[in-house]
Amino acid sequence: MKKCAAKKKIVNFKFFAPSAKKVAVAGTFNNWDTDSLLAKKDSKGNWTAKVSLPPGRYEYKFVVDGNWMEDPNCKLRVPNPLGSHNSVLEIK
């Protein structure tokens, strides 16, 4: 009997940075790769990146023009080994 795979959910990461040239999302879901999930900018300066993820707990940060930033819209965060914090996303 085959086990059903957990259903993935679409996640929209959003970050407001009107003067930024490049915004990416890096986290445990993409091995902290700063180039695999690039965001697209709209005319108002909102950057959005979309990814499909299975249920789980993920840590992530935005990378804005090379600077690692927490998600200002995320209330859940955890300390990281670098002395700052990672934002946390939980998908049920």
Phi-psi region of 55 (alpha: psi -120 to 50; beta: other; left: phi over 0): beta
How many C-beta neighbours within 10 Å does residue 2 have? 4
HSE-CB at 78 with a 13 A cutoff on CA atoms is: 11
Q: Is 20 part of a structural domain of the chain?
A: yes
Where residue 40 sits, what CATH number does that domain have? 2.60.40.10
**Domain count along the chain:** 1
Task: Look up tokens 């934002």; give the residue.
Answer: 87
pTM, two decimals, is: 0.91
Q: Is 1 part of a structural domain of the chain?
A: no
pLDDT, tens digit only, all 92 positions of the chain: 555 567 999 999 999 999 999 999 999 999 999 999 999 999 999 999 999 999 999 999 999 999 999 999 999 999 999 999 999 999 99
